[in-house]
Amino acid sequence: MPDNKHITHPTDAQRIDINDPFEVKNWCKSLSCTETELKKAVDAVGTWADDVRAHLNK
């Protein structure tokens, strides 16, 4: 994720960087989930956004 916080999209839109708080916030908003749900999904299926999205939609 770039240091410019005005850019609201991830650098790599296919992967979720769970260690970047700003990116986590944006992914939570995009996926309509909480930070805890996002982290659990990443733990379960990895950092690929499509996999996380599918896991959250179960």
For residue 27, count CB atoms less than 10 angstroms from its CB and return exposed for 0-12, middle for 13-18, buried for 19 or more.
buried
The pLDDT, as a whole number, for residue 47 is 95
Rounded Cα–Cα distance for residues 41 and 1 (Å): 20
The pLDDT, as a whole number, for residue 1 is 47
The pLDDT, as a whole number, for residue 5 is 59
Rounded Cα–Cα distance for residues 27 and 32 (Å): 8
Total structural domains within the chain:
1
Residue 6 lies in a domain: no
For residue 36, count CB atoms less than 10 angstroms from its CB and return exposed for 0-12, middle for 13-18, buried for 19 or more.
exposed
Range of the domain at 47: 21-56
pTM: 0.79
Residue 14 lies in a domain: no
User: Which residues is 15 bridged to in the sheet?
Assistant: 48
Residue 35 lies in a domain: yes
Q: What is the pLDDT of residues 1-58, one digit of tens each?
A: 455 656 555 566 889 999 999 999 999 999 999 999 999 999 999 999 999 999 999 8
Residue 10 lies in a domain: no
